[in-house]
Amino acid sequence: MDIRKKALSVGINKFKNFPQYTLNGCVKDVADITALLKQFLGFDSSEIITLTDEQATKANIMTALKDMVQQAKAGNCNYLFMHLSTHGTQVPDQDQDEPDHADEAFVPHDIEQQGDTWHPDHIISDDELRTLFSQLPTENVMLEAFLDTCHSGTGLRAMDLLSDRKVRWIPPPSLDAFRELEGLQVHGLREGLMEGDMKNHVLFTGCRSDQTSADAHIGDSYNGAFTYYMCKVIKESQNGSTRTQDINKLRDSLKDSFSQIPQLECSPQFKEKPLGFSL
């Protein structure tokens, strides 16, 4: 089958209205993922969109993703790749389908507060992404996603506290909002991407839903621990290992220095194949 590809890689170190939440390794993650896509998955530069720091507003991210979905619906591409390196956070359940849930959310450069919560025009909720990706054709289009953000449903309990690390998680913007969400079950993108007809979706995450992902100094530079070691695993095998082998090697690489446990969510048919188009 002819593979027609589109990719979006987003990395955000700087946040317009919240300099106290600056990260160090997200832009480097984008460079590493771009190199990975070109070297092992056959992407050309023209097939990859990268958004970093000031470019990575909610509007720009969603525009790029919507265009990818439209291209897939029109039959112009059949393999979509999405990578996000930024902070994660939580917002009250937007569609109120589950009263005991908080929605997982991803932080763009232009995140803003509105009252006691995040402004909906400047935060990307899991509901929005699920709604968008549910439009993808179910038979011949594959989506692969790397999320190097925190998905912490229990606050900062699992955070790494070493001086050269930060966690990729921002708490809700007020004490009232934090109390409202504290203890709720986080309804995350991983559940949404695996529901219903979304059988051709593959999701790698930097940690479990109750954990945080590290932004750390590794080797000679800052990276997300997940992105750095995932790229390392792929390079070592020349993308010759299965996704199951990759996730196991990745967990082994992290376990001595990091508390996070990366996750792989996909249908069984994809677990025993290498990264990339597998239909």
Instruction: Give tens-digit pLDDT for 106-118.
Output: 999 999 999 888 9
Q: What is the mean pLDDT of the chain?
A: 86
- Using H for helix, E for strand and C for coil, what is the string for 112-174? CEECCEECHHHCEEHHHHHHHHCCCCCCCCEEEEEEECCCCCCCCCCCCCCCCEEECECCCCC
The verdict on residue 119 lying in a domain is yes
Band of pLDDT at residue 89, cut at 50, 70 and 90: confident
Radius of gyration of the chain (CA): 17
Distance CA 132, CA 130 (A): 5
Q: Is the pLDDT of residue 120 over 90?
A: yes
* Run of H or E including 178: helix 175-181
The verdict on residue 278 lying in a domain is no
Q: Is the dihedral of CA 27, 18, 187, 67 positive or negative?
A: negative
Range of the domain at 63: 5-271
Q: Is the pLDDT of residue 216 over 90?
A: yes
- Percent of the chain beyond pLDDT 90? 65
Distance CA 89, CA 145 (A): 18
How far are the Cα atoms of 76, 110, 164, 236 from residue 55, in angstroms, in the given order? 25, 10, 26, 32
Per the structure, the count of domains in the chain is 1
Q: Is the pLDDT of residue 100 over 50?
A: no
The verdict on residue 279 lying in a domain is no
Which residues have a Cβ under 8 Å from the Cβ of 226 and sit 6 or more positions away? Answer: 146, 148, 204, 205, 206, 207, 213, 250, 254, 260, 262
The verdict on residue 101 lying in a domain is yes
pLDDT in tens, 41-54: 999 999 999 999 99
Band of pLDDT at residue 164, cut at 50, 70 and 90: low
> Based on the number of CB atoms within 10 Å of its own CB, is 74 exposed (0-12), middle (13-18) or buried (19 or more)?
exposed
The angle at the Cα of 263, spanning 157 to 220, to the nearest 5 degrees, equals: 75
- Could you tell me the pTM of the whole model? 0.90
CATH number at residue 21: 3.40.50.1460
The verdict on residue 94 lying in a domain is yes
Q: Does residue 40 sit in helix, strand or coil? A: helix
Distance CA 107, CA 84 (A): 10
**With contact defined as beta carbons under 8 Å apart, do 224 and 165 qualify?**
no
Q: Does residue 216 sit in helix, strand or coil? A: strand
Q: Is the pLDDT of residue 229 over 70?
A: yes
Lowest mean pLDDT among 18-32, 167-181, 213-227: 167-181
Among residues 192, 18, 175, the alpha carbon closest in space to that of 108 is found at 18
Q: Is the pLDDT of residue 183 over 60?
A: no
The verdict on residue 84 lying in a domain is yes
The verdict on residue 277 lying in a domain is no
> What confidence score (pLDDT) does residue 157 get?
36
The verdict on residue 48 lying in a domain is yes
Lowest mean pLDDT among 85-94, 124-133, 152-161, 263-272: 152-161
Per-residue pLDDT, averaged over 126-136, amounts to: 89
Distance CA 4, CA 184 (A): 40
**With contact defined as beta carbons under 8 Å apart, do 167 and 150 qualify?**
yes
* Run of H or E including 81: strand 79-85
Give Cα 152 to chain centroid, integer Å. Answer: 13
How far are the Cα atoms of 4, 102, 165, 267 from residue 271, in angstroms, in the given order? 22, 29, 31, 7
